[in-house]
Amino acid sequence: MNEALNELQRILTACLEYGNPVICYSWVARLYKARYGRTFHQARLRQLERLGVLAKDGETSRGRHRRYYRIVNPAALAR
């Protein structure tokens, strides 16, 4: 359980480091891999959405294979 929470925190950090309030899995996964040497399953972004940290941003694109998320209140999360 603690490792899963740590992973979510690392993913959130990568989301914030991306520097744009709108993100998608592939963009964040690249940063995450560069920083932590591994990647994560995209279902983790859905977990962050359920926790209220991310929100779906519009519809999917590229034949419904890419889902965009908006970081909810990035300034507060960065603190």
Rounded Cα gap, residues 11 and 23, in angstroms? 12
Q: Which residue has the tokens 């983790």?
A: 44
Q: Is 46 exposed, middle or buried (0-12, 13-18, 19+ CB in 10 A)?
A: middle
At 75, is the pLDDT very low, low, confident or very high (cuts 50, 70, 90)?
confident
The token pair at 20 is 């744009």
At 66, is the pLDDT very low, low, confident or very high (cuts 50, 70, 90)?
confident
> How large is the average pLDDT for residues 8-21?
94
Fold of 2-78: Arc Repressor Mutant, subunit A (1.10.10)
Q: What are the contacts of 30-38 at 24+ separation with CB within 8 A? A: 35/10, 36/10
At 63, is the pLDDT very low, low, confident or very high (cuts 50, 70, 90)?
low
Convert the pLDDT of each residue in 18-50 to its tens digit. 989 999 999 999 999 999 999 999 999 999 999
The token pair at 58 is 């519009």
